[in-house]
Amino acid sequence: MDPETANNRELWIMGVAPGTGRERLLSSYLAAGGYRNRPERIENLGDERPLGIVLDISPFSDDGWGLLLRIKNDPLTRNIPVLPVFLSETGKVGGVFPVAGFFTLPVDENHLFDRLAVFGLTEDAETWDLQALVVSRTGEEKLSKAIESLGFEVVKAYTGKETLALTSIHPRYMAFASLMLPDMTVFELLEKFRHYPYSSNTPIFALLKDDMKEGEKSAMSREVANLVSKKELTREQFLAHLRRRE
């Protein structure tokens, strides 16, 4: 999300209920980084296309998880970059979760291939012996076969701890992980990846079910709240996270 390319398009802030003002601090952070931005509603995505979406997924959000699913389930909007953030009840920025992207399950293979090519992640697969991690309770056989067809060796893990053990001894080219694992969320896994030399730059793609029950949404929001644990990011810290995602 380069601010120099945002002259005619803005970042949209979503997941914040109108009239609450919870987006004000986040908006000021974005503006200080050179990003034009405004709060918006998903209904307006059909008329305009933002540069990207900054989405509140906290327990105080206005159905942030539902918005994420709607955006990523729709072929017309699923390529729009989404940056999940945690905003406190008063709008303080508690966390940023810069996953490389999202794919809904069951995976659309053509969409998967297109997006990985856009990220430049398929060019070296036939030249080098590269491994991709698939982290899920079920193993995601269809996804694994699609990745293998690109020339990658797929290594499977079923928990976050198992994933961390695998990445601590050997680098992996990229990773795909379910939103909720038995022992942690994909966002906690992302945080832990940054502390290991072999995985600090490994792109992680989050795998979404095509639907989430209200209880699942609440559980994910609680897990994210526990992860940030009353943190408050400064403007400089937030912008550093944002720029690392570019």
Instruction: Indicate if the pLDDT at residue 213 is higher than 50.
Output: yes
What are the pLDDT digits (tens) for 100-154?
999 999 999 999 999 999 999 998 887 888 999 999 999 899 999 999 999 999 9
Query: CA-CA-CA-CA torsion for 203, 200, 97, 38, nearest 10 degrees?
Result: -80
Report residue 5's pLDDT band, with 50, 70 and 90 as the boundaries: very low
pLDDT score at 190: 94
Instruction: Indicate if the pLDDT at residue 246 is higher than 60.
Output: no
Q: Which tokens sit at 97?
A: 């979760």
DSSP string, 147-176: HHHTTPEEEEESSHHHHHHHHTTS--SEEE
Report residue 225's pLDDT band, with 50, 70 and 90 as the boundaries: very high
Same fold, 3-99+213-244 and 107-209: yes
pTM listed for this prediction: 0.92
pLDDT score at 198: 82
What are the pLDDT digits (tens) for 25-73?
999 999 999 999 999 999 999 788 999 999 999 999 999 999 999 999 9
pLDDT score at 103: 97
Instruction: Indicate if the pLDDT at residue 171 is higher than 90.
Output: no
pLDDT score at 162: 96
What are the pLDDT digits (tens) for 173-206?
999 999 999 999 999 999 999 888 888 889 999 9
Q: Which phi and psi angles does 115 have, rounded to 5°? A: -70, -40
What is the architecture, at CATH level 2, of domain 3-99+213-244? 3-Layer(aba) Sandwich (3.40)
> H or E stretch including 165?
helix 160-167
Give dist(CA 234, CA 246) in Å, integer: 19
Average pLDDT for the chain = 92
Give dist(CA 213, CA 221) in Å, integer: 13
**CA nearest to 30, candidates 50, 13, 5:** 13
CATH number for 107-209 (one of 3.40.50.2300, 3.30.70.560, 3.40.50.2020, 3.40.50.620): it is 3.40.50.2300
Query: What are the structural domain ranges in the chain?
Result: 3-99+213-244, 107-209
Instruction: Indicate if the pLDDT at residue 230 is higher than 90.
Output: no
